[in-house]
Amino acid sequence: MDSAVSRPCACRGLWRSVLLLLAFSLASVGCGSTLRNASAGQVGCSPDDIVISDDHRGWGTRNWTATCHSQVYFCSAVSGSESVQVSCAPKHALLANSRSQRGSVASAPGAAASAPGASGVHVERGFDAKRNIAYVKGTFELPGGLRAIVVGAPEAAPGRLSVVLDGITPLKDLRECKTLGALVNARPMDAVESQAQPKVGAVHIESSFELAVFQPLAGRFPDFAIRACTRKWKFEQAQVAELQKLLAIYADLQQEKAAAGSSSGGDVSPPSSAL
C-alpha cells in the first residue's frame, strides 16, 4: 500500500524536475536540440525534421519559429516557479481569421496602407523611410476617451510589441500609473519594460511585451485586455480579431526580415530606436 501511494508522488516529483530542467534549458541554450525537442511534441514532427529560427528570449519567456516539411509554426515557452508551458500554433491559425478581412496591405516606402477594421479600430502597415524599417500599427479606441496603440517593428525590436495607453482622463490614479500589463485569455502578463510620460490631465504609458505573450490569441475563444494599475479595459470581440490581424501582419514582416537577412548574408543593422 505504501508503495502504491508513494509512486504517484514520486512521479509528480520527477515530472516537476523534468519541467524545471526544460525551463532552465529554454532560458540558457541556443537554437539546438532542446528547442527542436520542445517543438516536436507540439507540431507532430521528429526533432530531426524541425528547423528553428527567429529565436527570442525574455525574462521567463521564449518564442521561436519551428519549420517542419514547409509548415511554419510559431512557438512559445513561458516558465514559472515550478513549470514551463510550451505551445506551438501553425502560422495559418493566426492568418485564418485575418487574411480574408485584411486583403492586400502592401505599402510603398514612406507610405502607409490601412486595413479595413472594426468600428473604433485602425490597423495599418507602413514603412518609415527615415529609419528604413517596416512596421505594423493598430489603434484601438477604449471607453473614457482613451486609446490603446499597438506597434510592432521586427527590425527595430525583434520579438516584441509595444503597447501605449494614451488619452485625456480625470482619474488621478491612472495618470500616476507607470506601467501596463496584459490579460491574455484571462491570464496576467507583465511587460518587459515600461515608461510613462507625465502630462497635465492625461495619461501616456508605453510598455514593451514579448511576442510570446500574444501567441495564445491564435487558439480558440481568444480574449484580451490591458490593465494599468487597478484598472483594465477588455477588448471587444471585433477588436480581438483586429489584434489577430495585426499579429498576422507582424508575422509577415518577420518572414520578410528573415528573407532579407538571408539574401544579404545576415548583415541587417537595426535602427537605434524603435517607433
The model's pLDDT over 114-148, given as tens digits with 9 standing for 90+, comes to 444 445 678 888 888 888 888 999 999 999 889 99
Return the pLDDT at 15: 40
Domain boundaries, the chain: 2-91, 97-263
List, as own/partner pairs, every contact residues 187-192 make where C-beta atoms lie below 8 angstroms and the sequence separation is at least 24, other chains included: 187/216, 188/227, 189/213, 191/163, 192/58, 192/59, 192/160
Average per-residue pLDDT for the chain: 74
Contact between residue 77 and residue 85 where contact means Cβ atoms under 8 Å apart: yes
Extract the residue ranges of the chain whose pLDDT is less than 50.
1-31, 59, 81, 97-118, 266-275
Number of C-alpha atoms within 13 angstroms, CB side, residue 177?
Answer: 24
With 0-12 / 13-18 / 19 or more C-beta atoms within 10 angstroms meaning exposed / middle / buried, residue 53 is middle
User: pTM (2 decimals)?
Assistant: 0.57
Return the pLDDT at 259: 77
Could you please state the CATH topology (level 3) that the domain comprising 2-91 is classified under.
Nuclear Transport Factor 2; Chain: A, (3.10.450)
Report the alpha-carbon angle 210-215-219, nearest 5. 165
Return the pLDDT at 60: 55
Pairing of strands 146-152, 193-196: unpaired
Q: Kindly state the percentage of the chain with pLDDT values over 90.
A: 25
Return the pLDDT at 65: 82
CA–CA dist 167, 38 (Å, integer): 42
Return the pLDDT at 95: 53
